[in-house]
Amino acid sequence: MASPSFGASFQSFGDPVPLGPVVISVPHGGRAYPSDLVAALRVPIAAVMGLEDRLIDRVGMAARGDEPMLVQHMPRAWIDLNRDERERDPLIDEGARMVPRASAKLRSGLGLVPRRVAGHGDIWMRRFTDAEIVQRIEADHRPYHHALAERLAAARTRFGVAVLLDLHSMPPLGAPGLVPRIVIGDRHGTTAATRFVRRIEAEARGGGFPVTRNAPYAGGHIVERHGDPRRGIHAIQLELDRSLYLDAALEAPGPGFDATVTLVRRILSALAAEALGQPAAMAAE
């Protein structure tokens, strides 16, 4: 196993020339809060920590085998890799055009640089200059997406197909057993062939985890940008209920951590098996 290498604001694990067809992305687990971010906050730092996919990087690290994996270590509050770089919010960004790429997320305050966080409202004391946001795009956003594209292209060249698993976590949606604990996002069938989604569903249900597709999370910019099934690159966003692997306070690893890691490991193996044309029985052995 290769030692980690570092990008501008992320770590890259595994061989950039993949040993299998699956690549892992962990864009929202970052916990390295720079002083410039802290100085601009109008809320306690604990408030913006609510934007994190809390410790999902540890699940990914424990679950991966030889798969290449990118892990962003700058926090989502600094820049959101799962947004188009044009999703700049004019309410906090002096360089944003007056009519930006107005996605629903941007209108709700969750653009390229988040403006709000649930339960706390607006999080910044000031607007950011165009130069500040451009620097984040060039230093943090573009290098991550470039590295991800390189690894997917290398996997497709070697195996004829590549599969991206974009790993996220979500707040509990309600009472366990009544709501999905896992949400698969493929942008309503546009970023991955259905056969890959079905393999994930089979693993989740086989482990007793309620699962659904595209509701309430259909996948964001990462799968939309990198998924291209016609060219043999399939991209899927996987949302895991945080209560599956964290403690009751949703802060530290909990009693379900190991079982969640096992599930993600099985999903990775199933995706690789599907990409290589192996039947489900072989993938389970």
Asked whether residue 224 is domain-assigned, the answer is yes
- Residue ranges making up the domain that contains 57: 10-32+53-82+135-276
pLDDT of residue 91: 94
**d(C-alpha 245, C-alpha 254), whole Å:** 5
Mean pLDDT, residues 109-138 taken together:
95
* Amino acid letter, 276: L
Token output for 224: 């939309």
pLDDT of residue 97: 77
Instruction: Give the tens place of pLDDT for each residue, 173-223.
Output: 987 777 899 999 999 999 999 999 999 999 999 999 999 999 999 999 999
- Mean pLDDT rounded to a whole number for the chain: 92
- Total domain count for the chain? 1
Asked whether residue 126 is domain-assigned, the answer is no
Asked whether residue 41 is domain-assigned, the answer is no
Instruction: Give the tens place of pLDDT for each residue, 233-279.
Output: 999 999 999 999 999 999 999 999 999 999 999 999 999 999 999 77
Asked whether residue 15 is domain-assigned, the answer is yes
**Cα-based angle 139, 132, 84 (whole degrees, multiple of 5):** 60
Model confidence, pTM? 0.93
| Strand 162-170 relative to strand 233-241, pairing | parallel
10 has a pLDDT exceeding 70: yes
129 has a pLDDT exceeding 50: yes
Under the banding of pLDDT at 50, 70 and 90, the label for residue 281 is low
* CATH number of residue 203's parent domain: 3.40.630.40
pLDDT of residue 43: 96
Mean pLDDT, residues 100-104 taken together:
66
pLDDT of residue 7: 56
Distance of CA 179 to CAs 175, 182, 220, 225, Å? Answer: 7, 9, 21, 29
Asked whether residue 193 is domain-assigned, the answer is yes
pLDDT of residue 284: 44
pLDDT of residue 100: 46
**d(C-alpha 127, C-alpha 94), whole Å:** 6
pLDDT of residue 4: 54
**d(C-alpha 153, C-alpha 125), whole Å:** 41
Asked whether residue 170 is domain-assigned, the answer is yes
End-to-end CA distance of the chain: 22
Asked whether residue 94 is domain-assigned, the answer is no
Question: Quick one: three-class SS letters along 70-119?
Answer: EEECCCCCCCCCCCCCCCCCCCCECCCCCCCCCCHHHHCCCCCCCCEECC
107 has a pLDDT exceeding 90: no
Asked whether residue 176 is domain-assigned, the answer is yes
